[in-house]
Amino acid sequence: MDKTEDIVSSILNKKVMKQGDDDLFAGLEIQSTADVEIPANLVDQVIGQEHAVEVIRKAAIQRRHVMMIGSPGTGKSMAAKAMAELLPKEEMQDILVYPNSEDNNNPIIRTVKAGRGKEIVQAHKIEAQKRTQTRNTLVMLLILGIVGYSLITYQWLMGIIAAAFIFMALRYSTPKEGMVPKLLVSNDPEVHAPFIDGTGSHAGALLGDVRHDPFQSGGLETPAHDRVEAGAIHRAHRGVIFIDEINTLTPHSQQSLLTALQEGEFSITGQSERSSGAMVRTEPVPCRFVMVAAGNLDAVERMHPALRSRIRGYGYEVYMKETMEDNPENRRRFIRFIAQEIRNDAKIPHFDKSAIGEMIREARRRSNRKGYLTLKLRDMGGLIRVAGDIALQEEAEIVTAKHVLGAKGMARSIEGQLSDEFIRRSREYDLTVVDGTAVGRVNGLAVMGSDSGSVLPIMAEVTPTQSKMGGEVIATGLLKEIAQESIKNISAIIKKYTGKDIRNMDIHIQFIGTYQGVEGDSASISVATAVISALEQIPVRQDVAMTGSLSVRGDVLPIGGATYKIEAAAKSGIKKVIIPRSNMPDVLIEESYKTMVEIIPVDHIEEVLEIALVPADKDNFLAKLRDMAINTRSRLLEKPPTIVNPDA
Which residues are marked as active site? 522, 565
Beta-bridge partners for 453: 447
Using CA atoms, how far apart are residues 537 and 161, in angstroms rounded to an integer? Answer: 108
Query: Shortest CA distance to 104 belongs to which of 208, 167, 175?
Result: 175
Confirm if 568 and 455 have CB atoms less than 8 A apart.
yes
Using CA atoms, how far apart are residues 73 and 322, in angstroms rounded to an integer? Answer: 9
Using CA atoms, how far apart are residues 176 and 201, in angstroms rounded to an integer? Answer: 34
Using CA atoms, how far apart are residues 415 and 392, in angstroms rounded to an integer? Answer: 27
| Residues sharing a CB contact under 8 Å with residue 589, sequence separation 6 or more, in sequence order | 365, 563, 566, 567, 570
404, containing H or E segment: helix 401-410
CA-CA distances (angstroms) from residue 299 to 31, 76, 631?
43, 14, 49
Using CA atoms, how far apart are residues 583 and 646, in angstroms rounded to an integer? Answer: 42
Confirm if 83 and 240 have CB atoms less than 8 A apart.
yes
CA angle (446, 510, 519) in 5-degree steps: 40
Where on the phi/psi map is residue 37: left (φ > 0), alpha (ψ -120 to 50), or beta?
beta
Q: Fill in the amino acid letter for 586.
A: D
Using CA atoms, how far apart are residues 247 and 295, in angstroms rounded to an integer? Answer: 7
CA-CA distances (angstroms) from residue 321 to 36, 68, 75, 351, 377?
25, 10, 10, 26, 11
Half-sphere exposure of 403 (CA within 13 A, CB side): 28
Q: What share of the chain is helix, strand, coil (3-state, %, to 5)?
A: 50, 20, 35
Q: Show the 3-state SS of 492-541.
A: HHHHHHHCCCCCCEEEEEEECCCCCCECCCCCHHHHHHHHHHHHHCCEEE
Cα Dmax for the chain = 132
Using CA atoms, how far apart are residues 133 and 555, in angstroms rounded to an integer? Answer: 91
Residue 643 main-chain phi, psi, to 5 deg: -100, 120
* DSSP label at residue 480: -
Using CA atoms, how far apart are residues 436 and 428, in angstroms rounded to an integer? Answer: 17
Q: Long-range contacts of range 423-427, CB-CB < 8 Å, 24 or more positions apart?
A: 423/454, 423/455, 423/568, 423/571, 423/572, 426/455, 426/457, 426/513, 426/572, 427/572, 427/573
Q: Is 444 helix (H, G, I), strand (E, B) or coil?
A: strand
For the purposes of burial, counting CB atoms within 10 Å of the CB of 289, is it exposed (0-12), middle (13-18) or buried (19 or more)?
buried
| Residues sharing a CB contact under 8 Å with residue 594, sequence separation 6 or more, in sequence order | none
CA-CA distances (angstroms) from residue 59 to 87, 107, 261, 333, 505?
9, 35, 15, 24, 62
Beta strands in 236-363 (DSSP E): 240-243, 265-266, 285-286, 290-295, 315-319, 323-325
